[in-house]
């Protein structure tokens, strides 16, 4: 399916995990891709991996916590590939801590990493999308925005804030042809998940593999998600076929969330 041919997509946090899976799914649909992370070997390896599948791929290093790095990222991508049609906003998750152990430093570190980079990136790409009358913004969020996950107080607090921002934005830009959505993954087999399991193992003395098995068994499907399952949903929301979907948080969790909405 080449429905994204000639579309330019920027995917942040795409050297691994869900961001890389989203980049791969966009590449399969023919998008011209810019991937990004803090840089280093993992980003270079992701670029090499995508080179065989994407029409065109570039890799640009940028720390999403720094506003000026985001400005440079967007202008660098637009210089090399042209105007950005699709933004996939993703990054590293905040520290895993229970609410009773949080201090000010935790909040100060988590807010730019989990919340602020989303509006900052949106502000940079939106003027062009609105002028051209077409755009897709998809943020990778978390099922924790629907159902708080024990021990992840920062994620539980900040993910809903991102959704509140995106919902508001979606209302403001809908008539300009720009859709704004989020994908809310459940437990997915990535490096981040392994890190969380290891940190929980340290705290509780449990085995990290058992923790991951338990996380998978919390879903109705009794298994973890594979990154591809999240990437395909992101790519669908970025596609022309998703033209009447905006302001939504699409949960992709194998039935982990037990509420109605």
**Which residue from 65, 55, 61 is spatially nearest to 31, judged by alpha carbons?**
55
Q: Cβ neighbours of residue 240 under 8 Å, at least 6 residues apart?
A: 3
Least distance from ligand NAP to the Cβ atom of residue 199, Å = 13
Number of helices and strands in the chain (H, E): 9, 7
Distance in angstroms (rounded) separating the CA atoms of residues 88 and 226: 18
Window 111-130: residues binding ligand NAP (CB under 6 A): 113
Under rule CB under 6 A, residue 17 binds ligand NAP: yes
Q: Give me the helix-helix angle, 17-28 and 41-51, nearest 10°.
A: 20
Out of 3, 28, 30, 42, the residue judged to bind ligand NAP by CB under 6 A: 42
Place of tokens 């978390």: 142
Least distance from ligand NAP to the Cβ atom of residue 18, Å = 4
Under rule CB under 6 A, residue 65 binds ligand NAP: yes
Window 175-214: residues binding ligand NAP (CB under 6 A): 185, 187-188, 190-193
**Which residue from 58, 69, 75, 124 is spatially nearest to 91, judged by alpha carbons?**
69
Under rule CB under 6 A, residue 156 binds ligand NAP: no
| CB nearer to ligand NAP: pick between 50 and 140 | 140
Out of 3, 28, 30, 38, the residue judged to bind ligand NAP by CB under 6 A: 38
Least distance from ligand NAP to the Cβ atom of residue 232, Å = 15
Under rule CB under 6 A, residue 14 binds ligand NAP: yes
Range in contact with ligand NAP (rule: CB under 6 A) among 91-99, 118-126, 163-171, 241-249 = 91-99
223: burial class by Cβ within 10 Å (0-12, 13-18, 19+)? middle
DSSP H or E stretch at residue 110: helix 104-110
Q: Which residue is nearest to ligand NAP (CB)?
A: 17
Residues that bind ligand NAP (CB under 6 A): 13-19, 37-38, 40, 42-43, 63-65, 90-93, 113, 140, 142, 185, 187-188, 190-193
């Amino acid at each position: 399916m080449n429905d994204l041919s000639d579309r330019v997509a920027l995917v942040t946090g795409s050297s691994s995990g869900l961001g890389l899976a989203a980049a791969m799914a966009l590449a399969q649909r023919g998008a011209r891709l810019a991937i990004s992370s803090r840089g280093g070997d993992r980003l270079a390896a992701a670029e090499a991996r995508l080179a065989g599948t994407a029409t065109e791929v570039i890799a640009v290093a940028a720390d999403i916590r720094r506003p000026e790095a985001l400005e440079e990222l967007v202008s660098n991508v637009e210089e090399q590939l042209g105007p950005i049609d699709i933004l996939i906003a993703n990054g590293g998750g905040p520290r895993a801590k229970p609410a009773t152990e949080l201090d000010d430093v935790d909040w100060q570190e988590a807010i730019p990493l989990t919340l602020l980079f989303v509006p900052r990136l949106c502000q940079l790409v939106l003027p062009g999308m609105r002028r051209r009358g077409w755009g897709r913004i998809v943020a990778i969020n978390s099922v924790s925005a629907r159902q708080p996950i024990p021990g992840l107080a920062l994620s539980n607090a900040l993910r809903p804030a991102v959704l509140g921002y995106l919902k508001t934005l979606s209302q403001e830009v809908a008539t300009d042809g720009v859709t704004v959505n989020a994908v809310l993954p459940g437990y997915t087999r990535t490096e981040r998940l392994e890190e969380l399991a290891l940190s929980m193992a340290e705290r509780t003395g449990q085995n990290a593999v058992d923790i991951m098995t338990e996380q998978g068994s919390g879903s109705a499907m009794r298994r973890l998600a594979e990154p591809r399952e999240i990437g395909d949903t992101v790519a669908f929301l970025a596609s022309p076929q998703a033209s009447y979907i905006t302001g939504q948080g699409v949960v992709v969790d194998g039935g982990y969330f037990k509420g109605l909405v």
